[in-house]
Amino acid sequence: MKKLLFLLLAVGLLRSPGALAQVRVQHLRCENLADPIGLDVARPRFSWQLLAAKDRRGVRQTAYEVRVATSAAGLAQGKAAVWNSGKVASDSSVNVTYAGPALQLNRRYYWQVRAWDEAGKPSAWSAPAFWQVGLLAPANWQAAWIGPGYTEDSVRRPSPLLRKEFKISKKITSATAYITAHGLYEAQINGRRVGDAYLTPGWTSYNKRLAYQAYDVTSLLKTGANAVGTTLASGWYRGFIGFDRTHNIYGRDAALLFQLHLAYSDGTSEEVVSDGSWQTSSEGPIRFAELQRGETYDARLEKTGWAQPGYDARGWTPARVQNYAKANLFASFNEPIRAHETFKVVKVTKSPKGETILDFGQNLVGWVRVKARGKAGDKVTLSHSEVLDKRGNFYLANLRSASAEDTYYLRGTGQDEALEPHFTFHGFRYLRIDAYPGAPKPEDFTAVALYSDMPATGSFSCSDPLINQLQSNIQWGQKGNFLDVPTDCPQRDERLGWTGDAEVFSSTAAFNRNTNSFFAKWLRDLAADQGPNGAVPFVVPTMPFTQGKDLVGAAGWSDAATVIPWDLYTLFGDRRTLAVQYSSMQAWVKYIQDRSRNDLWDTGFQFGDWLAYDLDDDNAGRSAVTSHALIAQCFWAHSTQILLDAATVLGKTADVATYTALLQRIKAAYLREYVTPGGALMSNTQTAYVLALHFDMLPENLRAQAADRLALNVADYDNHLTTGFLGTPYLCQVLSRFGHADVAYKLLLQKTYPSWLYPVTMGATTVWERWNSMRPDSTFAPPSMTSFNHYAYGAIGHWLYTTVAGLNVGAPGYHTFTVRPQLGGGFTQATAALETTYGSARAHWQTSGDQLALDVTVPPNSTATVYVPTTSPGSVREGNRRLEGSKGLQAGPAQDGYLPVQVGSGQYHFTTAWAPKATAALAPR
């Protein structure tokens, strides 16, 4: 019996009397990933979280120990044969860098952690985690680039099939497949799909950086005969991308690079590689596949068993070996695109034109799985659209040259045939059935959402259902546009990585999902595509219309080079990305400086406050158009401030002095050129005042009156916003910061055009590109540029999380944070929850009569300052106790309508007397 109890305790099924009080270590991550395969990082970073009993407070890590071995058994025996950090006195539990011997390619390493708490008590060792090293350097590729051994159809370009048979005569201990392509690929081994990712290898600036993926395929192999088969498609590499029917940007030929590493039980290894012995065919079922133009699939041409050993490949042609570069190869470290939510049909309608239209209830990005039964050659044609026109007809004009159509030809098996695309995607809510054998049944159609598999981290909800729908729209706008790169829109002939959209939305995106690796990868392409003059292109990966020796940058767009690395540092604690991008950040600021005159950036092209509300004929003499030069000066200051902060973090003392002096000159020039002695701005617009205040362009003595002018401008437009892409993200933040939270709430809750809720009232399920993409009479803005899934205006999400709910980052990665909600808008409750790098943080407030409850969760190894909204500090209780009787907190003096309380980790329940009329006083001036 004693032995059984000991075993149960050892595996954690029972807990000893003191186990609940002991800290545990969990959620081990290597380079932000759980047990990653194929990393080519020489010094990977480790992160972990502490777990403590729910009723325990103030848990801190005071030391840690990491150990690494080449087997899990070695760790269990305490034999860290590779590296042991020893006990390190530190509270660091995020991005702790491996400091052991050089790593070996194709080797799997196991690691675990233990931590000491604030009382000096050690935890047990964590469960083991692992990471597997990839090829480490392009020189370790033994495979050759291969392509079809026949002349391809240059118009339709059917998807090539490539196959190889091989034998395994020894016992395998592990097998890793490394794959990439010029174009897109799907691979099979012995007839089974390799991995669950789609649209691989993703989109990068291919000629400079091409990702490869690594897969553990041990379970797909067997002793004896085996086979591998891959299907290629044009994808971003040579397909139609961008607008103006642009294609063949990176090359004209599809190609494959494949290397299978086999490790045997006798200690030997073998490589199966792509070479001239592979066989190729153009006669596969995918007859046409383009990201913007849909897919045509002929099931009659399916080659049963073609990716299995023993297949009769007579008529196939030998692969052509190609001399393509390998120096641009790197191992993927960002999450791949995967299939996620599925949607059933919620409504079937007949349009006035007689069209059969299926409504899935949600604007999403992906494709439709369809079941159909019929004769061989029977046709299924499906078209995709985001909206219906005011009469209920299918609307496609806003897609421009994109063709959102998939076509299938049935095999004719006599049974239901399940069909879906492989190498395309669509932005849609509605499906039009253009061809179908028999009467379609709604249950035979399923919409599938595709997006990069970034972990969901944040949520927001409140007492207003329209705001909750807005939050849903923001999240779906992000999902649909985060397909390996942050695209502007997913439906028309564009779908590009516009830097301006990404820059304004990055902090909101980082709350919804863990975007650390997603953006870190994209930023490296940004730096790779940056011009020699320091200009950052408007889209990344870059396109022909932004290339050339005279590459130019623009305020608010090119500032993605500085803003997003800083967001990754502050929100995730990613110091390495900040260091990697630092030279790119410097080059961008120098580009501006080189084009300035008398410390003013008033030359060159600018987008300005893109898509701001504009009045063609305003007899009141008002204008919502902001000077492009004024905007540029503000963003120059903003990027310089970020660069100054980054230099401070990275210990670059000389640069700190340089950028401090530069920032002073930029702001002085701004005051001379754009501000009157009385504090009025040259452009009397909401965006002008928002940027001046948010970027601290004005001296302290002019800020309050500038905020008042902003509030008056909002009132002058009957409590409507007039801002565009660059002013909108900061509008409510500035109003709240400078004492006008009531105005911010009025803007948030405005339901008529232009406003955030106007699209919601019109039935939107994603964020629109324009405030009036659909007009109040249900007609559309010009189809030349109207998207119903554009995430940029969803940047209001940042204010919802940080101000309405009050959850705001302090030290990098939320090592410290604040909870300071600004109540208003008639809301009776709001909640923000976030899975930070340290664990779960949460802020929830609720009012009932004259009482306010504020609940806060602080993860272990973090601390927070909670600002309890109250004008009666003596009424504040925590857990029904007076503050001085509550463990783990310390209250300070009340200020600006708040009582600040310092808390350690744990769960806290504050209550206080609350007066709704005092809400406006809770925003400090």
Residues with a catalytic annotation lie at: 494, 769
- What is the distance between the alpha carbons of residues 577 and 569, in angstroms, rounded to a whole number? 8
DSSP state of 200: B
- What is the distance between the alpha carbons of residues 696 and 670, in angstroms, rounded to a whole number? 11
Q: Tell me phi and psi for residue 718, to 5 degrees.
A: 55, 45
- What is the distance between the alpha carbons of residues 385 and 398, in angstroms, rounded to a whole number? 9
Q: 405-409 and 294-298 as β-strands: parallel, antiparallel, unpaired? A: parallel
- What is the distance between the alpha carbons of residues 111 and 48, in angstroms, rounded to a whole number? 11
- What is the distance between the alpha carbons of residues 802 and 804, in angstroms, rounded to a whole number? 6
Tokens found for residue 497: 């990585």
Tokens found for residue 734: 């500035």
331: exposed, middle or buried (Cβ count in 10 Å: 0-12, 13-18, 19+): buried
Q: 83-84 and 63-69 as β-strands: parallel, antiparallel, unpaired? A: antiparallel
Q: Tell me phi and psi for residue 501, to 5 degrees.
A: -60, -45
* 261: β partners: 176, 271
List C-alpha distances in Å: 357 to 291, 381, 382, 624, 724.
23, 12, 10, 40, 34
* 846: β partners: 829, 853
Tokens found for residue 331: 């191992």
Contact (Cβ atoms closer than 8 angstroms) between residue 711 and residue 705: no
Cα of 44 vs its chain's centroid, Å: 21
Q: What residues contact residue 820 under an 8 Å CB cut-off, 6+ apart?
A: 806, 808, 865, 866, 867, 898
- What is the distance between the alpha carbons of residues 187 and 256, in angstroms, rounded to a whole number? 10
- What is the distance between the alpha carbons of residues 650 and 440, in angstroms, rounded to a whole number? 62
Residue whose C-alpha is closest to residue 805's, from 455, 458, 456: 458
**Signed CA dihedral, 275, 280, 285, 287: sign only:** positive
Q: Tell me phi and psi for residue 259, to 5 degrees.
A: -140, 120
Q: 458-462 and 405-409 as β-strands: parallel, antiparallel, unpaired? A: unpaired
